[in-house]
Each structure stands twice: as C-alpha cells, then as structure tokens.
Structure 1
C-alpha cells in the first residue's frame, strides 16, 4: 500500500494542531521534516526507428543497404544513442546524426530480441565503453559489450 503524500500528512498535522487548544503560554506549530530522494539514470534504447525518422520520398524501389565494418571507437557518449536494431549476437546502434555503430556482444544474449528494446546504464563519465559496460535486456539478462565497429555504406 503506498504511503500518503507529504502534503496530506502536513494537512492532517495542521488540523490536529488547530483542533486541540493549547495551554496558556505555549505556542502551537507544525513540525516539518526534509525528505531526500536519490535515483539512478538508466537509458532505455528503443529497438525501432519508425517513430523517430520520417521516411524519405522514394521514386524507385528501395534496395537493401549493405554495410561494411570499419574500426570503431572504444566508447560512445550515452546521450548520442538514438535507436538500435537487434540482430543475433550484435546490436547496431543508430546515433543522433545518422551514424551507425555495431556493438558486438560477449556471450549469448538470446532474450535481447524478444522484448522491444534494452537498457544501457552509462558510467559516471557519461560514456558507454566496450570491455567495460553491458547491455541489459528487459527480461533481466546482461550482455557485455565486447567491441564497437563503425558501419559505413558499402559501395
């Protein structure tokens, strides 16, 4: 059962203080306390881009894009993540601005594609790094990021 809101508790305390007459010479009042709430930030990365990217008008039938892997960065700024495409033992991350980076995962991450999306918890430096950080599936599994590879369109 959820606890009553702090405003409701203050209202109850003020009504109780007003309804009870105070002896002569004593002041009545309300005692207030401070509450500190701490939290953590976890970024949920959507697994589709259909709501984020407007389709470009096409005059010819679309051809599938072929990607080539190049040497990738060691780390990616977490605020640059825009979306992801899950495929087997890797995840293609779509960054803001349209660049793509493939995150190769260490071990079996079978639950990754079952639910729509996954979670990434950036470190204190705001970066998601290969060999250090992991992807968490919505079912609770955890997969370490082995390495990043930059994806470029094959010509």
Structure 2
C-alpha cells in the first residue's frame, strides 16, 4: 500500500483525522465547497410565494319539516271540540327576500315548496321553470349571503340529490275565514 504524503497532494484539500485534543473544526474545507451545498439547500427550500386567497364559505342546510308524530296528534284528543270557524289557506304576495334564520323547515306541496317559519307562519316558494319541488323534499342547501337572506332570482338552492334551482316568487300563506 502506497500512501502519498501531504506535500505530494499539491493544492487539493486534505482531510485530516480529528485528534482527541483538537476541539475546533476547520470550516475552510466545507466553505470551499459552498456551491455544492447551496444546490442541496436550494432544492429543499420552498419556491417563491404566490398570492394566497382565503375565502370563507358558509352553507346553510334547511331540513325537512318534521311530521306530527302520534304523541303530538294525541295532545288534543281529550280536549272537547268547539265549533271552530272554517278557514282556508290563501296565498298572499310576499317580498322578494326572506331571512334564512327564520326558516324552521321545508316540505314539498304540489308545484311549490312549503316553507315553515320559526314564528309558525308559512310561506311558499315557486321555483324557476324546469325545477321540481319534489327534488327538495329532504330539505335543501343554500350558500349564506352577506345580508343573511334568501332572495328571488338571486340565490340558488341545492337539493341533496344535486338539483340546483332559483326561486321565482315567495308567497305568504294566510288563514282566511269562510262564510
């Protein structure tokens, strides 16, 4: 085995074994290869930052109205029946928007959605042409707007099955006495 002496090496960097008494490291050999290290460090660094946009999106779920169960139907079974005036429900024109926080439930009734409000009033919603209220019998989703309202020809309601429709008109159901 032929070992060359350090004088034979010329200008090439020489690696020396650290002895027990030596505590300092010579950084010259590492810094002399700085370009090699930069390539490695640059490969793991993240690239330049691009514009980041954070959006907050709130989707409201309007659940179907709960049917009156047997316990609810029996609450008035023992109450004596009085002569009640005969009434019918009539649709009256309502505004173009309703507050989504006031909605308590939804059901389909023929060609309209029946919207039950938390204050026990009822509204109907006529959907745009080509949309069936039957698609929304299990409730619907709507993206919350800045004003917190669902408006005619502005907001789209989405059924759980994927149908998307706009509301053409709101009406309020009002009890009217029959003569």
In the superposition, the TM-score normalised over structure 2's length comes to 0.55
How many aligned positions are there?
Answer: 117
Indicate the structure (1 or 2) with the bigger Cα radius of gyration.
2
Corresponding residue to 1:135 among 139, 157, 160: 157
Contact 2:126 2:167 in 1 (8 A): yes
Corresponding residue to 2:118 among 82, 96, 111: 96
Once residues 140 and 65 of structure 1 are traced to their aligned partners in structure 2, the CA distance between those partners, rounded to angstroms, is 38
Contact 1:111 1:137 in 2 (8 A): no
What CA deviation, in whole Å up to 9, does each residue of 1:134-154 have, x standing for no partner?
221111111110011111113
Superposition CA RMSD, Å: 3.1
Structure 1's unaligned 5+ residue stretches are: 1-35
Q: Secondary structure at the match of 2:120?
A: coil
Counterpart residue number, 2:147? 125
Once residues 151 and 88 of structure 2 are traced to their aligned partners in structure 1, the CA distance between those partners, rounded to angstroms, is 26
Structure 1's 46 and 113: CA in aligned 2 closer, same or farther, altered over 3 A?
same
Counterpart residue number, 1:49? 66
Counterpart residue number, 1:14? none
Question: How far is the alpha carbon of 1:126 from its aligned partner?
Answer: 0.8
Structure 2's unaligned 5+ residue stretches are: 1-52
Q: Secondary structure at the match of 1:55?
A: helix
| 1:12-27 → structure 2 map (5 Å cutoff) | none
Contact 1:47 1:86 in 2 (8 A): no
Question: How far is the alpha carbon of 1:111 from its aligned partner?
Answer: 7.1
1:145 and 2:160 are equivalent in the alignment: no
Counterpart residue number, 1:85? 107
